Structure 1
């Protein structure tokens, strides 16, 4: 197969942990052809097709640093490759949104895009949990500071987060004393112009914020528990959390097996659930990670499962 990865600049990849690199490595091992571009290289013009201008055809070197060589460059119509993998990292900003519309046009022209462009738009990573209230903790989504104060008065220990954050960015905890609640709301809410998600604090975060990967509707049998360090409330690896691979618990599997087929049917080949204790906190669809950490610690080859699913989707 000829695979086009729409991603961040290849030079920014940290190959020792990058999940997109793990996908590329497994695909190359099977003899698939690798191409790469960045979202800003996607172009559409009337009378033509969505094209990746100056896409790179690459070969992997096996080295840690200079890990790829460019074997050719050129314009590539997305409909002319076997699969387009949208792997641009968050944030899901306006430019990401516009890129999904270009990808939808490419789909109308015959391209196969994973994850499906419309599904990326329809599953914002924090708000997607609203569809599955039976699996989440008490939560409110609002612009109204009074609603936030009322939620704190009821639950006493809460987490506040912006809807467009990533890697634990902008997450605050307010305990029973309400210290700094007003200031935090002002910071996140921006005078009523920004919507905020507020959730009851889940003490099980001390045991880790679990990343559960679902591929082709089926859960990877191990998750990565991201454990907060040094007094942090955030377990995100980007915020200094320690990643520990663990087998799924019965509750983890129950959640994943319920959500997996539903999300796969919508064109989401790869999903990353964030689960604290027994509660889903986010449904990550833009560029789920943790392939290499799970594989290195558990021995289960996540990239192999992914490329198997990708090949099956093309059959």
Structure 2
């Protein structure tokens, strides 16, 4: 297979923990032709969408992933996007709409994971509201606005004394804070900062505080609508965020009965939206976020459970490509049969 990773720069990778690197290593180890590029390297010439890529050499692949990263050799080349069997989207948020416009031109020819339309509708934290959950069994009560007066009213009228506030398009735990009713004056100043820091105003999320948040959250990796691995992230002392980038630690976790039911509830919609590989964050068995652009956690879940989740992900992609190729071959054979019949 010819595989393109549309991702963040190679030199920004932490080889000890990076999930994308583990997917790349698995593809190269299997003998696939693998190239990497960034959204900034997409281009168009003669109406053909291409990318300035770094293509991995055919040299023997070290089994150790850190060694693989350090010893990787590339050939630089401008390559047509339509020549790839699959494009794996691993760019960090926020979503680059121009990059998706480039991919629109090849979406009928190339398997893109995750799907372009799926990324468009799920690239921010509003996506959780699209799951059918009228009684908030799986999803906490959520409010989104860039009107300060309304958000202050929401906090005042909340049934609890505290709520979680975060930017709509943040990731990695950036900007997530705990707000409390008794700090109303400070809340007003925070809202002004969060909303007015962007041109035209930023949307802010106020979400029901889920009890147990101080004990951490659960990251679940979902593949083709099914959970394939999980871990619990525990915040550091005095920290409300559990993200590892914010100082949290990870421990082994087995999904509870209700967490499995939640995954089963949202899995079919994820697949319908073309979101085949995502990370979901749960607190006290409720869905907090869906991460669709470059979900992480592969290395840590692997280490905690002695598994290699990257194998399952690449197995899935290979099965999709093999099915597409079989369908194309079958169609070609059918057309030949009709042409041969016409020639008789």
Q: What is the TM-score with the length of structure 2 in the denominator?
A: 0.85
Q: Distance in 2 between matches of 1:58 and 1:204?
A: 48
Q: Does residue 303 of structure 2 align to residue 296 of structure 1?
A: yes
2:255 aligned with 1:248, yes or no? Answer: yes
Cross-structure match for 2:115: 116
In structure 1, distance between residues paired with 2:233 and 2:94? 20
Who is 1:203 aligned against?
Answer: 211
Q: Secondary structure at the match of 1:233?
A: coil
Contact in 1 for aligned 2:15/2:65 (Cα 8 Å): no
Q: Which has the larger radius of gyration?
A: 2
Any gaps of 5 or more consecutive residues in structure 1?
Answer: none
In 1: Cα distance, 2:54 partner to 2:70 partner: 17
Once residues 40 and 165 of structure 1 are traced to their aligned partners in structure 2, the CA distance between those partners, rounded to angstroms, is 21
Q: 1:262 aligns with which of 262, 269, 275?
A: 269
Please name the residue that 1:53 is paired with: 52
CA contact (8 A) 1:37 1:56 kept: no
Query: Any idea what the Cα deviations from partners look like across 1:227-271, whole Å, max 9, x if unmatched?
Result: 111210011111111122311111111111121222112221201
Please give the residue correspondences for 1:183-262 in structure 2 after superposition, counting only pairs within 5 Å.
Answer: 183-190=189-196, 193-220=201-228, 222-262=229-269
- The corresponding residue for 1:160 is 165
More helix by share: 2
Number of residue equivalences? 309
Look up the match of 1:176: 181
Whether 2:93 is the aligned partner of 1:90: answer yes
1:157 and 1:174 in contact (8 A); partners too:
yes
* Residue 2 of structure 1: aligned partner: 2
For 1:48 and 1:146, locate their aligned partners in 2 and report how far apart those are by CA, in whole Å.
Answer: 48
- Any unmatched runs of 5+ in structure 2? 323-344
C-alpha displacement at 1:212, in angstroms?
0.9
Separation of aligned partners in 2, 1:118 and 1:151: 32
The answer as to whether partners of 2:54 and 2:74 remain within 8 angstroms in 1 is: no
Offset at residue 67 of structure 1 (A): 2.8
Distance in 1 (alpha carbons) for counterparts of 2:302 and 2:201: 42
Equivalent in the alignment of 1:17: 17
Structure 1 range deviating more: 285-294 or 207-216? 207-216
- C-alpha displacement of 1:137: 0.9
Measure the CA separation in 2 of the matches of 1:164 and 1:68. 35
